[in-house]
Structure 1
Amino acid sequence: MTDTSSTGQARGEATAPRRRALYRLMRYLPLVAPVLLWAVPCWVLLYTGQHWPLPVTAGGTALFVLGLVAMPLGMARGHGRRQQDAAAVLGDTLLGVSWVLFTWSVLLGVLLRPALAGVGDGQDRARTVAWAVLGVSAVLLAWGYAEARRVPRVRRLDVRLPRLGAGLDGLRVVLVTDTHYGPLDRARWSARVCETVNALDADLVCHTGDIADGTAERRRAQAAPLGTVRATHARVYVTGNHEYYSEAQGWVDLMDKLGWEPLRNRHLLLERGGDTLVVAGVDDVTAESSGLPGHRAHLAGALDGADPGLPVLLLAHQPAFVDRAAAAGVDLQLSGHTHGGQIWPFHYLVRLDQPALAGLSHHGARTVLYTSRGTGFWGPPFRVFAPSEITLLVLRSGN
């Protein structure tokens, strides 16, 4: 007979060194990543055979060094203890610029240079690659900025839930999430988002967290328009991970004052046409580690007292919660968190952490997950190949 305890112990001992090595690498990542983000574009644009005039090479190098210094400094002063909004805007913007330059320096340096083999001399090819990187990056950054700052388009789709009663067929659910009110004042944008939501004639409006970066006291003016949102039955809200960086209880209290129902591990019943839908919500999965008393993701508590025969719509900030939702037989989970990747190709890194990037996905025998790309943006004021959205889900009954 195999000793499973000793086998598991051996397996754990074998994987332990790899985990320790990964943790050591992650510790150095904040130091290495900024250097790579600025050094790679600098090398591709200036030092791969272009032979620019000395003032161009020296001036370009100085700009990249300035970016390398200013980006982490701005982010530290903006998002750290000082909370300086101007510094945060500078650091976040430079992060987005460096990410786009890095991405396209790598892609065009790898893809375009071989395609130019035999065209002109080495200097011509190097300069062609450099101008292509600058041109593509400039276009994507300008477009991405406009996409991030615009009022999101409305994404409409039907979601069929077999257990939904006929009286609830056609129920209109509007989802906003990841508004991320922050260093860039977006009070007017917030008001226009709320006007768009009100035009959708929703029965239920949901906000699945990450309202802002900053405390409720600091971002109150940007969040205030949420109080104007209308819904026939209810407006419901759950916390996201960013609330737990910014005094989460203050955001829960403010949303309550603005007329939203904070679903902190509890549910309410939505009744129409003789049928009932359980609308439940849980705190974000990071809540427990925040140390705030009573804050944790507790699905059993959220569903406590609900008739197990009724369909359940669950609000949970992170798509990763869907495993627990599927195990509990939840019919529909609404989430955000991923931003759809926000700036390509960050999409692929998000998929390493979350089971879905955006849109509808099915999990287990019953559970449908809808992951929004988010209504706002976090950090860099750019959205590249990941447009923001306000989502209108029309619930349909029957198979």
Structure 2
Amino acid sequence: MKLFRRVLIGVLIVAVLVLLFALPWWALVFSPMDWPFPMVLAGTIVFAAALVALPVMMYLGHRRHGRDWAARTGDTILGVIWVLFVWTLLGDILRLALAIAGVENPNRARIVAVFVAVVAVTLVIWGYTEAMRLPRAKALDVVIPRLGKGLDGTRVVIVTDTHLGPINRTKWTEKLAAAVNDLDADIAIHAGDIADGTVAQRRGQAAPLGTVRARLSKVYVTGNHEYFGEAQGWLDHMGELGWEPLHNKHVVVERGGDRLVVAGVDDATAEASHLPGHGANLSKALAGTDPDAPVLLVAHQPKQIAAAVSAGVDLQISGHTHGGQIWPFHYLVRLDQPSVHGLSRHGERTQLYTSRGSGFWGPPLRVFAPSEITVLTLRSAAP
């Protein structure tokens, strides 16, 4: 049974890869456009080489202690072919419109090919620029009815999904930390997926996070990608950088005589990692807290909201989704998560804010899903 399952998964992966490459190849190279044979041959070689290179580079680059050059290559191929695939499908709408208008091949096929190529190149260049830029600040007021007046106006600044990885982004992290400091945080939060790789690999890129300032607290929780590397190592290292690792625990912040519980839990995948002592445990995180105090929970994945609702949490902060990162991938994300981006309400008391994230994973592209540094201003319902 296990062998059959592995074979089936392998066949599905191959089928998806072939489909991803075959449709753009047909639209750009082989459909009835009457390209000269050398152009058809060259295009076919390029697509075939990319098809073979993608799984090889992803394996070499993203396995434990993988090679950064391979990850950069595989990630770039994946991003480009996804954009080409999506716009090849959308190009069929133009193909149909041209057919209705009476445009014959090869002109019809050539117009569609040029359209797909131009849009794809434009989106890849723009998407790369969006991925590598300093995230824009996104500000939002969140009313928490149980919040005391002394904490009204508390500024919570959130970064998440920084994914420091194969592309050295030390300068980017320096700018990110400076931007957070400019936002004058009372509470600073890193909601997980700090890096792809071990502390030893990404120490330099993460170092600027040690300069982040917050008046009341700086907290960090693990994301799923920490469990691909060394989750405990990142918890320890963030502690060394001055952040409070909320490894199924909480801190209490106070101002004006009012208190707010800031709790954090491990990522939803932590238990499956079989790392001793790891696994999301909200009961442990809230142990000993005042049941009348409002609770802000940091949990990497939005789908951890079910436990938060059961526990009567007031506000959960999550990341993980990247807002889909490369349109229209957010439709697939929505199949797994209750929220892709923004503020939503769950149950009578609990609200969830899902950040699009500050960095990117894999393909260095963000298309119609801009990165963000989130500034939530907590408001009391009291007049």
Q: TM-score by structure 2 length?
A: 0.97
CA 272–23 in structure 1, closer or farther in 2 if over 3 Å, else same: farther
CA distance in 2, matches of 1:34, 1:87: 18
Q: Which amino acid aligns with 1:128?
A: I
CA distance in 2, matches of 1:283, 1:162: 27
- Summarize the alignment of residues 149-188 of structure 1 with structure 2, pairs less than 5 Å apart: 149-188=132-171
Aligned to 2:259, the other structure's residue is in SS state: strand
Q: Is the 8 A contact 1:119 1:125 kept in 2?
A: no
Q: Is the 8 A contact 1:159 1:393 kept in 2?
A: yes
Residue 253 (structure 2) aligns with: 270
Q: Is the 8 A contact 2:64 2:229 kept in 1?
A: no
List per-residue Cα deviations over 1:347-391 (Å, max 9, x = no partner): 100000000000000000010000000000000000000000000
Give unpaired runs (5+ residues) of structure 1: 1-20
Aligned to 2:250, the other structure's residue is in SS state: strand
Q: Shift of the alpha carbon at 1:47?
A: 2.1
CA distance in 2, matches of 1:255, 1:74: 30
Residue 112 (structure 2) aligns with: 129
The size of the alignment, in residue pairs, is 380
List per-residue Cα deviations over 1:10-53 (Å, max 9, x = no partner): xxxxxxxxxxx999754533222221111110011122211111
Q: Is the 8 A contact 1:175 1:207 kept in 2?
A: yes
Deviates more, 1:51-60 or 1:112-121: 112-121
Residue 52 (structure 2) aligns with: 69
2:358 to 368, 375, 383: 375
Residue 311 (structure 1) aligns with: 294
Q: Which amino acid aligns with 2:146?
A: R
Residue 225 (structure 1) aligns with: 208
Q: Shift of the alpha carbon at 1:82?
A: 5.7
Aligned to 1:370, the other structure's residue is in SS state: strand
Q: Which amino acid aligns with 1:387?
A: P
Q: Shift of the alpha carbon at 1:311?
A: 0.4
- Summarize the alignment of residues 1-399 of structure 1 with structure 2, pairs less than 5 Å apart: 26-81=9-64, 83-109=66-92, 111-117=93-99, 118-398=101-381
CA distance in 2, matches of 1:221, 1:294: 27
Q: Which amino acid aligns with 1:116?
A: L
Q: Which amino acid aligns with 1:248?
A: A
List per-residue Cα deviations over 1:68-91 (Å, max 9, x = no partner): 011111111111256110111000
Residue 14 (structure 1) aligns with: none
Aligned to 1:116, the other structure's residue is in SS state: helix
CA distance in 2, matches of 1:181, 1:316: 19
CA 311–23 in structure 1, closer or farther in 2 if over 3 Å, else same: farther
Aligned to 1:122, the other structure's residue is in SS state: coil
CA distance in 2, matches of 1:314, 1:133: 44
Identical aligned residues as a percent:
60
CA 340–22 in structure 1, closer or farther in 2 if over 3 Å, else same: farther
Cα RMSD between the aligned structures? 1.6
CA 23–329 in structure 1, closer or farther in 2 if over 3 Å, else same: farther
Q: Which amino acid aligns with 1:45?
A: L
Q: Shift of the alpha carbon at 1:194?
A: 0.3
CA distance in 1, matches of 2:64, 2:365: 25
Q: Which amino acid aligns with 1:374?
A: G
